[in-house]
Amino acid sequence: MSGYDIFAWIVLIILLASAVGVFCIAGWLPGHIAKARGHPWAQAVTVAGWITLICGFAFWPLAFSWAYVDVPAPRKTENV
């Protein structure tokens, strides 16, 4: 093996490791944000982040935005 072949393998391994790292961070991020913000359905956001990422990435932005949605407080009704 020449020096270029070794360099090519090193670059390939770094690219694969980077791709796996980005994939893991993207799956972890919506759930982490939801937990940090005290979202009442943080576990569901976590599952949605991983499932949508594994199943094609199409709905991952929806899970990501769901992590930022604040759930409104229940309305208090007045007895008149």
Query: Within 13 A of 33's CA, how many CA atoms are on the CB side?
Result: 17
- Domain positions in the chain are 23-70
Cα 43 to the chain's mean position, in Å? 12
CB atoms within 10 A of CB 39: 21
Torsional sign, CA 45, 28, 33, 15: negative
**Per-residue pLDDT at 80:** 60
pLDDT beneath 70: ranges in the chain: 80
What pTM did the predictor assign?
0.77
**Per-residue pLDDT at 74:** 73
First and final CA of the chain: distance in angstroms?
87
